[in-house]
Structure 1
């Protein structure tokens, strides 16, 4: 049962229930209590005997006829003093009894009526009330009929609503699947509802939006691809020119400049490679690969990072539990290396890598450094391509702002994630303070057996 229909069921039932109470109270104010009217019809036989048989007797025969009816009737008839009868009735009904009207007691299955108003039946008859009990009143039957009427009305309302909501829900589910496919990178996914569907206008707008987004992404992809490849040609020329210049130059004073130029060319080559990598990841699907030992991969990444550190240290605490993972080992290793490299740039003195398998079927890898940390309001933006914090330390560290973006995309392709949390105290900085640093938490799914 779809959620739209479930909500309609609740709303319809509440609406019918509310309408039933409103109708009941409205009819009660305008025409009298409907339940009392039903009870009056059910007690019509006893009322008829009282009004058409007993009351038509002569004054000296009235009591005799009352006794005859007592003998043959299934109801109990007794005479009460007027004050006792008034005391048994609610205050709002006493005026009716004093006027000589029949006052029904639906709950007690009885009615009251004064013998007469003038005392003509017998001595002090105006001070007595005839109380008829055990009347054939069954309000439950009437309420059951109302319940059946309620159910039939609800059924005839909910059947067309269910039919409509079913088609509407299917259309929404189709839109949801299209959105999921589009979000996973299938830029050709488009909704295709029937033109008569109620969601056709919405689906059309979503299709137009998807078309514009796909066009923009394709344009961005082609631009990055073209720029990256076009940059390789002048970079190759620069490398060739530098080699010729180095071979032709005999002046040792030019050596530092040549080394600086070569460094600039290497940076351009690294930027182009990063751009191409990011462009491939943005349009890649979930990678398929052979199972590999995740713990061994993490140890290799930690050893490689530690080997490149000079005045900093790296501590690695990697669990020994089974950690087989499916996917592209090279891509995941690059993600971890990017995070470790980022920590190495900003750490003041030390980096700690902690990895362990969790019960939920994934490894949690934590990389903590003792550097300046990442402000809480900037933690979402550091994963954006080319975004760098506007601090002196960030400009001094170099880089292009692509490392974390590539790491995030690589983990997402494997069903993992990366997040930034508050750093942990306890890592002393170079100035003797206790900075919190940056704490990046990587979630890498294990292989499901």
Structure 2
């Protein structure tokens, strides 16, 4: 059974229980104790004998008739002093007894009543009380009937609630599956529920939202992919033109030679940007990747920052990292991107470390640079995002490296986080 039904069932049972208690206390206050009325009804035969047979006898016949009833009745009829009866009754019922009423004793399965209030039956009869015991009073039976009534009502309420909640729960599970599939990149996932379902309007809005988001994501991917491919043609033309210009005028003007070299550097930057855009687009479109088993420690030992910065670099790679199922080239690119990012900002130290922590592998890249402000640590993984500070404008790059790293780690089922390094800069932690 689903959780929705059990919650409804609990609420229904609780509501019926509270309603039963409220009804009992209301009736008790307005009309008297319902249990006492049940007991009075069950003891009606003995009360009838007392009032219509014993009490109707003349004064001199009253005690003989009482004795005759004692002989034939299964109940016990005893005479006891009024003060003893008053002591045995709660204060709320003593007044009734003094007035001559029949006072029911539910727990004792009996009743009390004064012989009379005038002393007319016999000498001192006004100071005596008839105490009837062992009467056929069975409150348990009455309570059992109430319990059966309670159960039948609860059953007739819970059956339609169970039927409705099951349909409702299945609809919610369908919506949940759509959300999971959509979150995992299946942009074609849609919720399918019956038009008469209570969540049909919600499912329709979710489908509309998914349609719009899917359209936007597809448009973004196509735009990046198209722009990246279209840029390659003019870049190739620029490279060809610069090569021709170098060959024809290389010896004529040193200044022109220097200018051509600068232009070639700009073209290389454009090529790098296009390649990173294509790489990011491919990762965005990838729902899975070819998985092969590879040793993690040797792969990490081969990851290093650019050659001119390796004198700042140190590594601590544990030997018990074991093997990982995934794309070794893609994971190496993610780590190298972090090392390259650290190389741009580090003042003197770059540290790569990896160790096994419980059932996971933790890879850490840290530096002694300016670090990353806490409020920007989530946004740095967005494409083209760069911090608004001098170090970021002076550092080369396009804000795509960390996006590629985050996507690569995600495809390996891992997570990446940023915090402060003991070295003073930023620390990137990959957990696989």
Provide the TM-score with structure 2 as the length reference. 0.95
SS of the residue 2:132 aligns to: strand
Listed one character per residue, the Cα deviations across residues 37-63 of structure 1 (whole Å, up to 9, x for unaligned) are 111122122212211221111111212
Distance in 1, Cα, partners of 2:374 & 2:87 = 76
SS of the residue 2:305 aligns to: helix
Please, which of 395, 415, 418 is the counterpart of residue 416 of structure 2? 418
Distance in 2, Cα, partners of 1:252 & 1:298 = 44
- Residues 323 and 363 of structure 1 are in contact (CA less than 8 Å); yes or no, is this contact kept in structure 2? no
- Residues 38 and 142 of structure 1 are in contact (CA less than 8 Å); yes or no, is this contact kept in structure 2? yes
For residue 142 of structure 1, what is the aligned residue in structure 2? 142
Distance in 2, Cα, partners of 1:339 & 1:152 = 67
For residue 441 of structure 1, what is the aligned residue in structure 2? 429
- Residues 114 and 128 of structure 1 are in contact (CA less than 8 Å); yes or no, is this contact kept in structure 2? yes
More moved, 314-323 vs 141-150 = 314-323
Distance in 1, Cα, partners of 2:351 & 2:53 = 105
Distance in 1, Cα, partners of 2:218 & 2:308 = 38
Distance in 2, Cα, partners of 1:272 & 1:306 = 21
Distance in 1, Cα, partners of 2:75 & 2:148 = 30
**What are the within-5 Å matches in structure 2 for residues 101-180 of structure 1?**
101-180=101-180
- Residues 75 and 134 of structure 1 are in contact (CA less than 8 Å); yes or no, is this contact kept in structure 2? yes
- Residues 321 and 355 of structure 2 are in contact (CA less than 8 Å); yes or no, is this contact kept in structure 1? no
Structure 1: segments with no counterpart, 5+ residues: 428-434, 445-449
1:409 and 2:407 correspond = yes
Distance in 1, Cα, partners of 2:80 & 2:342 = 99
SS of the residue 2:84 aligns to: helix
- Residues 293 and 326 of structure 2 are in contact (CA less than 8 Å); yes or no, is this contact kept in structure 1? yes
For residue 196 of structure 2, what is the aligned residue in structure 1? 196
- Residues 306 and 340 of structure 2 are in contact (CA less than 8 Å); yes or no, is this contact kept in structure 1? no
1:2 and 2:35 correspond = no
Listed one character per residue, the Cα deviations across residues 196-232 of structure 1 (whole Å, up to 9, x for unaligned) are 2222111111111111111111111111112112211
Deviation at 1:318, TM superposition (A): 1.4
More moved, 187-196 vs 83-92 = 83-92
Deviation at 1:169, TM superposition (A): 0.9
Deviation at 1:14, TM superposition (A): 0.6
Distance in 2, Cα, partners of 1:82 & 1:294 = 97
Deviation at 1:442, TM superposition (A): 0.4
Distance in 2, Cα, partners of 1:240 & 1:272 = 17
Residues paired across the two proteins, number: 430
For residue 345 of structure 2, what is the aligned residue in structure 1? 346
**What are the within-5 Å matches in structure 2 for residues 9-28 of structure 1?**
9-28=9-28
Structure 2: segments with no counterpart, 5+ residues: none
Please, which of 255, 258, 273 is the counterpart of residue 256 of structure 1? 258
SS of the residue 2:330 aligns to: helix
Cα RMSD, aligned residues only:
1.6
For residue 63 of structure 1, what is the aligned residue in structure 2? 63
Deviation at 1:258, TM superposition (A): 2.3
SS of the residue 2:336 aligns to: helix
For residue 238 of structure 2, what is the aligned residue in structure 1? 238
Distance in 2, Cα, partners of 1:221 & 1:139 = 77
For residue 223 of structure 1, what is the aligned residue in structure 2? 223
Deviation at 1:274, TM superposition (A): 0.9
For residue 368 of structure 1, what is the aligned residue in structure 2? 366
Distance in 1, Cα, partners of 2:63 & 2:194 = 82
Distance in 2, Cα, partners of 1:308 & 1:2 = 62
Provide the TM-score with structure 1 as the length reference. 0.92
